[in-house]
Amino acid sequence: MANRRKSHARKIRLFRIVKSNRRVPAWVMQRTSRRFTRHPKRHTWRRGHLHR
């Protein structure tokens, strides 16, 4: 995936994955009394691959 010539559709797909790689919002943790503290689809760029 390190090639420079990515199609526009692929860039949009990758950007959507980047946007979804956020932590659980603080208000969600507060509302659920810290039952949900981890995001199941969270990933790091070094470890693991993107799930298709």
38 assigned to some structural domain: yes
pLDDT at 2: 65
Give the number of domains in the chain: 1
pLDDT at 46: 87
User: Which structural domain range is residue 12 located in?
Assistant: 7-42
Q: Is the pLDDT higher at 14 or at 50?
A: 14
* Furthest CA-CA distance within the chain: 46
15 assigned to some structural domain: yes
50 assigned to some structural domain: no
pLDDT tens-place string over residues 5-31:
889 999 999 899 889 899 999 999 999
Would the pTM count as exceeding 0.75? Answer: no
49 assigned to some structural domain: no
pLDDT at 50: 78
pLDDT at 1: 55
Query: Which residue from 19, 17, 21 is spatially nearest to 52, judged by alpha carbons?
Result: 17
pLDDT at 49: 80
